[in-house]
Amino acid sequence: MAARHSDSDEDLVSYGTGLEPLEEGERPKKPIPLQDQTVRDEKGRYKRFHGAFSGGFSAGYFNTVGSKEGWTPSTFVSSRQNRADKSVLGPEDFMDEEDLSEFGIAPKAIVTTDDFASKTKDRIREKARQLAAATAPIPGATLLDDFVTPAKLSVGFELLRKMGWKEGQGVGPRVKRRPRRQKPDPGVKIYGCALPPGGSEGSEDEDDDYLPDNVTFAPKDVTPVDFTPKDNVHGLAYKGLDPHQALFGTSGERFDLFSGASEGAGSLLGDVGLSKGRKLGISGQAFGVGALEEEDDDIYATETLSKYDTVLKDEEPGDGLYGWTAPRQYKSQKESEKDLRYVGKILDGFSLASKPLSSKKIYPPPQLPRDYRPVHYFRPVVAASSENAHLLQVLSESAGKAAHDPGTHSRHQLNASKRAELLGETPMKGSATSVLEFLSQKDKERIKEVKQATDLKAAQLKARSLAQSALSSGPQPSPPDAGRSSWHLPPGAGAATTRASNFRPFAKDPEKQKRYEEFLVHMKQGQKDALDRCLDPSMTEWERGRERDEFARAALLYAPSRSTLSSRFTHAKEEDDSDQVEVPRDQENDVGDKQSAVKMKMFGKLTRDTFEWHPDKLLCKRFNVPDPYPDSTLVGLPRVKRDKYSVFNFLTLPETAALPTTQTQSEKVPQLQGPDKSRKPSRWDTSKQEKKEDSISEFLSLARSKVGPPKQESSPLVSKEKECMPESLSDKVASKGVDPQAEGGGGRPSMDLFKAIFASSSDEKSSSSEDEQGGSEDDQEVTGEADLQGPQETDLGEPPPVAQALEPAAPQEPAPPLAPSFPIQKMQIDEREEFGPRLPPVFCPNARQKLEEPQKEKHRKNKEKHKTKKEHKRKKEKKKKHRKHKHKSKQKNKKPERSSSSESSDSSDSQSDEEGAGDVSPGELLRRLKCLPLRRQ
């Protein structure tokens, strides 16, 4: 077996290291991603690619040196025999292995080969020679060979030789001796060795030799030595940041101590101006890169200030001639050089330029006159669009400028947008010429109407004042410039005023506004003396001058700003101050007709309203239905604008007048009492009223009289909080309950009733709910709450009709045990508002419990306990609730009421059966009645 195995091994040739066979169920390992791959040395340390001497400080064993014990001085040798024999320490003794390795600073692995090493001998050849010497007839003959053999030179020597270098010469271009002859200025002492090459003192002895002119000499073979004494504590060759260089950019220049010293510190700053053209830069190095620093690749890069922008500007012109406000010579030149080929349509009157735009010449700024004051007066500048071309013209004329000829060519009357139109460009959205273009047609018409109306009014005013003035100034001489009174324009001309007149800057003064509008009209017509003509001739000169100024300014302000402003603003989504409000276009109307139709059971056309309704696009998509109105952005019913403050917008439902039944006084009471008129009328109110009033109206009044003053006191508070039918409802409920009492006096309720009531309440609150809900009190509370919700909602909604109250189960007299539930109901009323059909009450959730024969008293006790408990919890819950302060105060007001009611209910337990209808207190009565729905089965 093994043999066979080895045989097969011999046959196969395998390359590389085989993968370890996978274990059963083991997943193949994923290759380690690149960022997680690490390099470690043989000791398991993270390997850096340089040692301590080449920039890293992560030397040694966990940042100690080399070993766990730390740095052990290698001089110390503990044995007696070999005392410190190695005392001379080279730098290698302090180096890490990394430094000595292949990539360290002192690699030991690589040795220069013989070819490149100088004066080392070929061993093979040497051996051969020795052999030859041994076999030579004359022993020792190789000695001669040793003498004779030319020394092997390194490649560098050979290269230099080929370039014409000879031994003994210096390296560099050949020089003439002559320039070196001139002696340095004796007045200037030179320290240091940084003189032009070859300028050493030793060359002076050769000065006297004869030197032909055309002979050059090789430089002397001198190793340049820097004799600068090291007087600082920096490391070797460390060059700190030179502030002078860094800030003022005199890089490359040595800071000349002696020349600079004479000029003093002032010259330092003076240098700044001189060195402006040079590149600013920082050279030198500040600190090395620490071991813990991540980025160390660029440690020796010099940071120059030229990399940074020191001034906000486009590009430095280069020669410093122009400041940043100067014309951009460079730019314009570049642009002109670009060959722009225009490919669009060419308008009439325009032709394509044959030669590129000539580069602009830059002239030096003019010499300022002597009396120049550096304060600028801004002349009104009018953009030369077609609309305000007249304005521009008039203004320039009235300002005394020479009128420029408005050329006869049509192209001069084109403005940008018109040209764009002709060229077929799509107009830019934002820059409509006028705000008015955003208005709908309807709005435009409206504006027009308003304008005409005001014009008419103004004209009437004018006429009146004219008549007056005519009367008064009859004998007087006509004003000097009567010819200017040509502002008698027909009222229709007012409609032709410019759009700018829609901005009514002088709206407060209709006369003035009128004059202003006329001024605009004149200006449109291009009349030169527009300003003068429209002014009231009866005004004083001062007034006139002032008004002229105002008009001109207003025209400027209101006319040209339109286009510029319109591009910056968007339309408001809603008009916030308009008197209009959006209401659905179609309303469901004439409910009276419909009601009668329903009465006659004529459903169909009479009762149906059909509206256009736009579903949301997304909704259509979700329903997989094509959008019925693909082009409309409308959602819902189409809306129209109506007057905001019209009552009819909010009368959405039939008023009580629409009801077929006549209403008695009693049912109007709730409406009168309802404090919040704006609430949505609930259908409950109306239908309920119509149903029940007749039979119980007397009881309503009875109950109300019994409720008495305290109830009325509390009612405003309550009614404020509950929006829906505050007091009146409870009154109604009261009356409902009184009804059975008064009618029958009623026998005792059947046992079933009590069973049902008590069984439901007790089992739900004590046993069953605890079992199911883990006995947590919250859950109990919830169920209890839910339990009572039905009756509570009853109070808010429509009280059941009388017929219902007369049901067999109902007419028993109010069950006293139920009374304690009142406070809770009350609170729920406060908390919530209800519309619509209520949810049915729940009172027998567990059928099993009902089967038990209940002990009446026991249950009653249970009930009481639970009620009080619940109430207690309720209060706690209330407290917990985060409420606003005003609610709190209301709540406080209610609390005493609540507690009193619970007390009274407790007391009433004992005497309840004996109590007649007349004996119960109104509050008690009310409470019982509220519980009425609970008893109904």
Partner 1 sequence: MAFPEPKPRGPELPQKRLKTLDCGQGAVRAVRFNVDGNYCLTCGSDKTLKLWNPLRGTLLRTYSGHGYEVLDAAGSFDNSNLCSGGGDKAVVLWDVASGQVVRKFRGHAGKVNTVQFNEEATVILSGSIDSSIRCWDCRSRRPEPVQTLDEAKDGISSVKVSDHEVLAGSVDGRVRRYDLRMGQLFSDYVGSPITCTCFSRDGQCTLVSSLDSTLRLLDKDTGELLGEYTGHKNQEYKLDCCLSERDTHVVSCSEDGKVFFWDLVEGSLALALPVGRGVVQSLAYHPTEPCLLTAVGGSVHCWREEAYETEGGAG
Task: Write out the binding residues for partner 1, residues 7-36 only, by CB under 8 A.
Answer: none
Q: Which of 6, 302, 410, 687 binds partner 1 (CB under 8 A)?
A: 687
Q: Which of 479, 491, 537, 801 binds partner 1 (CB under 8 A)?
A: 801
> Toward partner 1, which CB reaches closer, 256 or 771?
771
CA distance 867 to 762: 10
Q: Which of 204, 612, 713, 913 binds partner 1 (CB under 8 A)?
A: 612
* Residues whose CB is less than 8 angstroms from the CB of residue 247 and which lie 6 or more positions away in sequence, other chains included: 280
Q: Which of 385, 501, 783, 825 binds partner 1 (CB under 8 A)?
A: 783
> Toward partner 1, which CB reaches closer, 433 or 780?
780
Q: Which of 396, 469, 485, 595 binds partner 1 (CB under 8 A)?
A: 595
Burial zone of 819 (CB within 10 Å; 0-12 exposed, 13-18 middle, 19+ buried): buried
> Toward partner 1, which CB reaches closer, 469 or 773?
773
Interface stretch with partner 1, choices 76-84, 211-219, 670-678, 794-802 (CB under 8 A): 794-802
Interface stretch with partner 1, choices 195-203, 247-255, 440-448, 761-769 (CB under 8 A): 761-769
Six token digits for residue 791: 């009756």
Task: Write out the binding residues for partner 1, residues 357-376 only, by CB under 8 A.
Answer: none
Q: Which of 194, 507, 619, 851 binds partner 1 (CB under 8 A)?
A: 619
DSSP letters spanning 162-174: HTT--TTBPSS--
Q: At what angle do helices 922-930 and 777-796 cross, to 10 degrees?
A: 100
Interface stretch with partner 1, choices 59-67, 364-372, 374-382, 618-626 (CB under 8 A): 618-626
CA distance 617 to 625: 9
* 615 lies in the binding site for partner 1 (CB under 8 A): yes
CA distance 857 to 870: 19
Q: What is the DSSP letter of 580?
A: E
Q: Which of 104, 740, 800, 854 binds partner 1 (CB under 8 A)?
A: 800
Give the nearest distance from C-beta 575 to partner 1 in angstroms: 21
Give the nearest distance from C-beta 650 to partner 1 in angstroms: 11
CA distance 223 to 197: 12
Q: Which of 43, 183, 361, 608 binds partner 1 (CB under 8 A)?
A: 608
Six token digits for residue 212: 């032909």
Six token digits for residue 468: 């007056």
Q: Which of 704, 706, 711, 838 binds partner 1 (CB under 8 A)?
A: 838
> Toward partner 1, which CB reaches closer, 422 or 653?
653
Six token digits for residue 359: 């580069």
CA distance 265 to 258: 12
Burial zone of 393 (CB within 10 Å; 0-12 exposed, 13-18 middle, 19+ buried): buried
> Toward partner 1, which CB reaches closer, 104 or 797?
797
* 937 lies in the binding site for partner 1 (CB under 8 A): yes
* 670 lies in the binding site for partner 1 (CB under 8 A): no
Q: Which of 29, 373, 605, 677 binds partner 1 (CB under 8 A)?
A: 605
How many CB atoms lie under 10 A from the CB of residue 848? 9
* 656 lies in the binding site for partner 1 (CB under 8 A): no
Binding track over 543-582 against partner 1, x by CB under 8 A: ----------------------------------------
List the one residue out of 340, 343, 336, 339 whose CA is nearest residue 357. 336
Q: Which of 246, 392, 707, 756 binds partner 1 (CB under 8 A)?
A: 756
What is the dihedral sign for C-alpha 428, 429, 435, 440? positive
Give the nearest distance from C-beta 926 to partner 1 in angstroms: 19
List the one residue out of 698, 695, 703 whose CA is nearest residue 729. 703
Six token digits for residue 213: 């002119």
Q: Which of 271, 518, 798, 915 binds partner 1 (CB under 8 A)?
A: 798
Six token digits for residue 478: 């006509």
Interface stretch with partner 1, choices 100-108, 181-189, 614-622, 895-903 (CB under 8 A): 614-622
**Residue 582 and residue 639 in contact, taking contact as beta carbons nearer than 8 Å:** yes
Q: Determine the length of the chain.
A: 937
Q: Which of 105, 383, 420, 844 binds partner 1 (CB under 8 A)?
A: 844
Task: Write out the binding residues for partner 1, residues 152-181 only, by CB under 8 A.
Answer: none
> Toward partner 1, which CB reaches closer, 110 or 847?
847
Give the nearest distance from C-beta 917 to partner 1 in angstroms: 24
CA distance 607 to 129: 132
Task: Write out the binding residues for partner 1, residues 858-877 only, by CB under 8 A.
Answer: none
* Residues whose CB is less than 8 angstroms from the CB of residue 109 and which lie 6 or more positions away in sequence, other chains included: 101, 102
Alpha-carbon torsion, ordered 271, 272, 273, 276, to 10 deg: 120
Q: Which of 536, 834, 897, 924 binds partner 1 (CB under 8 A)?
A: 834
Binding track over 629-648 against partner 1, x by CB under 8 A: x-----xxx-----------
> Toward partner 1, which CB reaches closer, 56 or 749?
749
Q: Which of 178, 379, 553, 683 binds partner 1 (CB under 8 A)?
A: 683
**Residue 741 and residue 915 in contact, taking contact as beta carbons nearer than 8 Å:** no
* 248 lies in the binding site for partner 1 (CB under 8 A): no
How distant, in Å, are the alpha carbons of 271, 471, 489, 534, 539 from that of 459?
77, 18, 9, 14, 19
The amino acid at 651: L
CA 694 to chain centre: 64
> Toward partner 1, which CB reaches closer, 296 or 779?
779
Q: Which of 22, 362, 653, 851 binds partner 1 (CB under 8 A)?
A: 653
* Residues whose CB is less than 8 angstroms from the CB of residue 336 and which lie 6 or more positions away in sequence, other chains included: 356, 357, 358, 359
Six token digits for residue 268: 């330092």
Q: What is the DSSP letter of 763?
A: I
Stated as kind and residue range, the H or E segment containing 158 is helix 155-162
Q: At what angle do helices 683-721 and 922-930 cross, to 10 degrees?
A: 130
> Toward partner 1, which CB reaches closer, 251 or 760?
760
Give the nearest distance from C-beta 660 to partner 1 in angstroms: 11
**Residue 87 and residue 79 in contact, taking contact as beta carbons nearer than 8 Å:** no
DSSP letters spanning 310-359: -S--S---SSS-S-TTS--HHHHHHHHHS-PPP-S---TT----SSPPPP
Locate tokens 């009044």: which residue? Answer: 701
**Residue 654 and residue 592 in contact, taking contact as beta carbons nearer than 8 Å:** yes
* 766 lies in the binding site for partner 1 (CB under 8 A): no
How many residues line the site for partner 1 (CB under 8 A)?
79
Interface stretch with partner 1, choices 344-352, 544-552, 574-582, 785-793 (CB under 8 A): 785-793
* Radius of gyration of the chain measured on its C-alpha atoms: 55
Binding track over 111-150 against partner 1, x by CB under 8 A: ----------------------------------------
Interface stretch with partner 1, choices 124-132, 138-146, 278-286, 606-614 (CB under 8 A): 606-614
Q: Which of 153, 175, 556, 591 binds partner 1 (CB under 8 A)?
A: 591
* 603 lies in the binding site for partner 1 (CB under 8 A): yes
* 841 lies in the binding site for partner 1 (CB under 8 A): yes
* 516 lies in the binding site for partner 1 (CB under 8 A): no
Binding track over 725-744 against partner 1, x by CB under 8 A: --------------------
Task: Write out the binding residues for partner 1, residues 269-288 only, by CB under 8 A.
Answer: none
